[in-house]
Structure formats: structure tokens, C-alpha cells
Amino acid sequence: MFTPEERRAMIERLRRFPDELEALVGGLDERQLRTAFIPGEWSVAQNVHHLADSHMNAFIRTKLMLTEDNPTFKPYDQDAWALTLDYTPPISESLSILRGLHARWCALFENLTDDQIVRPGLHPELGPYRIDLILQGYNRHCDAHLDQIQRTLAADPQR
């Protein structure tokens, strides 16, 4: 379990993420958003839409762990999801989802008791899981995708 200071820092990281993401991708044109400049990696738009999907799933998993006894999560194929048609609309839609979702998620995390933050769940691919591990993991997820987007944009030959 994390200290109260560590938990607060991770919650603040999640709170800042939508603004950081929007600052990184907000001024990009369609070519920059939709081109996968690195073979085998997603485009910037796919990353943004994936972030909304992934963080919605994590929020729901958090709520399931709070309301059920040791729930088993349903995995999903994120690469298959990145090819679905809802990844074609403007990224502003997913940025809006992330903004509202992170506000609610942070409010939830801020109000969890020490007993609640360690409530368990089971991830079929990762094994036993807890709410505090979701908080930690999604801090890393935010950073990993900001890095991936920056690497993708750096690979743009017209930049």
C-alpha cells in the first residue's frame, strides 16, 4: 500500500493528464493525427482514442472492485479496438471523455478509505489486482502514451 503522500501525488498526476494530453495533441493537423509514422505503432489519434477506452475500462474495474467481492475482469484486445470505426471521429470526443472521466476518477480515489484502496480483483492475464495498483498502473499508462505520442510525432519526416 502507498503512503498518503504517494497516493495524493498519483491522483494529482491523473488529474493533470487530460490537460497535458490536450496540450500535446491539440494543434495537430489530420495528417499528423492519422499517420502511423512508426511501423507497427498506432497513430496519435489511435493513441488518444485508446486512452479513453483504456481509462474507461480501468474506471469500471475500480468501481467493480468497490462493489463486488474479488471480481474477475474481462480482458479486451486493444489492438482490435484501435481498428474499430469509433476511432475515426475527431479526437476532441475522446479528449472530452478523458477530461470528465479523470475528474470523476480522481474524486473517487480521493475519497477511498485505506481498506477500500486495497480491495481486490482478478485480471485473467495479470493475476490478483487491487485498486491501488490501478492507480499506480494508470499513472504509468499516462506517461507511456505521452511518450509514445512524442516518439510518433518525432518520427514525422515533415516535422
For 76, counting Cβ atoms within 10 Å of its Cβ (0-12 exposed, 13-18 middle, 19+ buried), the class is exposed
Tell me the domains of the chain and their CATH numbers. 4-154 (1.20.120.450)
Q: Cα(75)–Cα(70) distance, rounded to whole angstroms?
A: 15
Using the 8-state DSSP alphabet, how is residue 72 labeled?
Answer: B
Place of cell 505520442: 149
Q: What is the pLDDT of residue 1?
A: 80
Is the per-residue pLDDT at 159 higher than 90? no
Q: Tell me the mean pLDDT in the region 55-65.
A: 98
**Quick one: pLDDT band at residue 37, thresholds 50, 70, 90?**
very high
**Quick one: pLDDT band at residue 82, thresholds 50, 70, 90?**
very high
Record the pTM: 0.96
